[in-house]
Amino acid sequence: MAYREVSVFEIKEVLRLWLRGEGYRAIDRLSGVDRKTVRRYVEAAIAAGLSADGGEEQLSDVVIGQVCETVRPARPAGHGAGWESLVPHEAEIKAWLEKGLKLVKVQDLLARKGVVVAYRTLNRFATERCGFGGRKTTVRVNDGEPGSELQVDFGRMGLVPDPAGGGQRVVQALIFTACYSRHCFVWLSHRQTTAAVIEGFEAAWTFFGGVFAVVIPDSMAAIVDEADAVAPRFNAAFLEYAQSRGFVIDPARVRSPKDKPKVERQVQYVRGSYFAGESFVDLADAQRRATTWCSTTAGLRTHGTTQCKPLEVFRVEEAPVLLPAPAEAYDLPLYATPKVHRDHHIEVDKALYSIPGNLIGFRVNARADARVVKVFHRGQLIKVHPRQRPGGRHTDACDLPTGTEVYAMRDIDQLKRMAAGHGQAVGAYAAALLDSPLPWTRMRQVYRLLGLAKKWGDERVETACARALEAEAVDVGLIGRMLERATEAAPQPALPGLANVITGRFCRDASEFATGEGAGS
């Protein structure tokens, strides 16, 4: 017959019946305890000072404890003889289990060595001492204060029709669960990007009417760049979003569902109660019905743990203490780490922006929102540009090397001023060179003119330009030849005399060509 441990309440019932004058057989029938066991407990009680005519007031906890200590086998280490016989073989049992042997086989091998124990005792020993099977112990974490914590997790729901692309697409549910009230919100999306997650958070704050102080998400890539149990590295875009909305991120550890048990269990509930068996028109229709489901079916049910309706608890205790809901839509920035190219520009979202200093070849950190692009290097803000459309460009002339900014920016007016600085005629000649519907196509000619001024001196170039302007000869090559031949100041040759003019000869007399009065008729 198997051994059955008699509970404290059964022992007290046995002794109570005995004090009422019942015999051993009657106590056996009334309490369900074998009469031999009844006899042992009664004898132990008498030894502890219990009197048959003393009344039930004698049955104190101290007396019951003395009876149990007397009747039950002594276990100095908290275990019986079978357990103690396994202790010397602990290393051997652990080695067998690591090889993949079943516990029944281990029991058989121990029996060959003369160690015969019950399977239940061997199972408890292997579980506690050898790491065999069994579940790890856990503790129930306090729900915290109302409005303090919100657990978030992604769960795959299924397929939803996609009219735009045709066919069906997989939809993911971003599920938000308030730890205190268990009130939840479901946001559906085809993607798990940072932009999609932030869009879901914005919808959640609107649904709840406020922002929770702490968010406990899964270690999803849209939020956590590098998971760590102590010091995770967050995605820069989501971290800035959390700062703007005023909540703190406390992500769960990787493959640790117990860090977010409330939303973990909620995923199965959402899939089974809301999504399963339903037909949707498209994603927008599924989202409308999900929001309604959260406020009715899920919000008004009696929760199995709290035994309260989540929506009612949320409205009374959590909603009043939430942080204010966002007043305007969030401007999601774009983050990039572009390299500074040889032309002193970086590319952000297919647009070019100039960078000051000698940073060619270095990578900088860029943050671009709807209005401006901020560029940082080693934590220092080095440049701010207005945001440009893809394919656009914004260049600050001050960022370019000295002497190149005029050509790079096609600054025609500055180029004219530079030429005028070498002389009035030089400036006028440069203006004549640039007098074109496409003046930047003649900038090189003006740069050559400036080079001539540097090589031959301002005075000679001024004289050559003045003389060329008189002759209306606008050609920088002509100025160069004049300077090389030193003819810019040479006197002009006299025009040929009239005597040397050859008189034309005609076949007829000139009078034949006369007109007017007196002409022959």
- Domain membership of residue 305 (yes or no) is yes
- Domain membership of residue 34 (yes or no) is yes
φ and ψ of 152, to 5 deg: -130, 140
N-term to C-term CA, the chain: 168
The single-letter code of the amino acid at 379 is: G
Same domain, 389 and 301: no
Q: pLDDT above 90 covers what percent of the chain?
A: 45
Over residues 138-163, the mean pLDDT reads 90
Same domain, 351 and 208: no
- Domain membership of residue 1 (yes or no) is no
Q: pLDDT above 70 covers what percent of the chain?
A: 89
Is 458 in a helix, a strand, or coil?
Answer: helix
What pLDDT score does 2 carry?
47
Smallest Cα–Cα separation from 331: which of 283, 297, 367, 302?
367
Q: What is the band of 92 on the pLDDT scale with cuts at 50, 70, 90?
A: very high
474: its two tokens? 């606008």
**76/83 Cα distance (integer angstroms):** 12
Same domain, 103 and 247: no
Residue 461 pLDDT exceeds 90 = no
Same domain, 257 and 162: yes
97: its two tokens? 């289990």
Over residues 106-111, the mean pLDDT reads 92
Residue-wise pLDDT tens digits, 359-390: 989 999 999 999 999 999 998 999 999 999 99
CATH number of the CATH domain containing 176: 3.30.420.10
Tell which of 377, 399, 421 closes a domain: 399
Cβ(351)–Cβ(391) below 8 Å: yes
- Domain membership of residue 499 (yes or no) is no
Q: Which domain holds residue 198?
A: 149-321
- Domain membership of residue 511 (yes or no) is no
**DSSP class of 349:** T
Same domain, 88 and 181: no
Residue 516 pLDDT exceeds 70 = no
Smallest Cα–Cα separation from 5: which of 76, 86, 79, 72?
72
What pLDDT score does 77 carry?
59
Q: What is the band of 307 on the pLDDT scale with cuts at 50, 70, 90?
A: very high
**103/171 Cα distance (integer angstroms):** 44
Residue-wise pLDDT tens digits, 157-192: 999 999 988 899 999 999 999 999 999 999 999 999
Mean pLDDT of the chain: 87
Residue-wise pLDDT tens digits, 467-498: 888 888 888 888 888 888 887 777 666 555 54
Burial 376-404 (b: 16+ CB within 10 A, else e): ebeeeebbebebbeeeeeebbeebbeeee
Same domain, 86 and 65: no
Tell which of 48, 71, 94 closes a domain: 71
Across-strand partners of 339?
363
Same domain, 248 and 267: yes
- Which contiguous run of DSSP H or E holds residue 344? none
For the chain, the domain total comes to 5
- Domain membership of residue 497 (yes or no) is no
- Domain membership of residue 246 (yes or no) is yes
Same domain, 301 and 154: yes
Residue 73 pLDDT exceeds 90 = no
Same domain, 314 and 448: no
Same domain, 162 and 299: yes
- 101 CB burial (10 A radius; 0-12, 13-18, 19+): middle
The single-letter code of the amino acid at 169 is: R
pTM: 0.63
**DSSP class of 316:** I
Same domain, 210 and 95: no
- Domain membership of residue 514 (yes or no) is no
- Of the listed ranges 48-62, 113-127, 172-186, 386-400, the least confidently predicted one is 48-62
Q: In sequence order, what E strands does 268-368 have?
A: 334-336, 345-348, 351-354, 365-368
**387/371 Cα distance (integer angstroms):** 5
Same domain, 194 and 116: no
Tell which of 399, 431, 447 closes a domain: 399
Tokens 């003395």 belong to which residue? 66
Task: Select the more confidently predicted residue: 326 or 403.
Answer: 326
Between CA 116 and CA 125, with CA 121 as vertex, the angle to 5 degrees is: 105
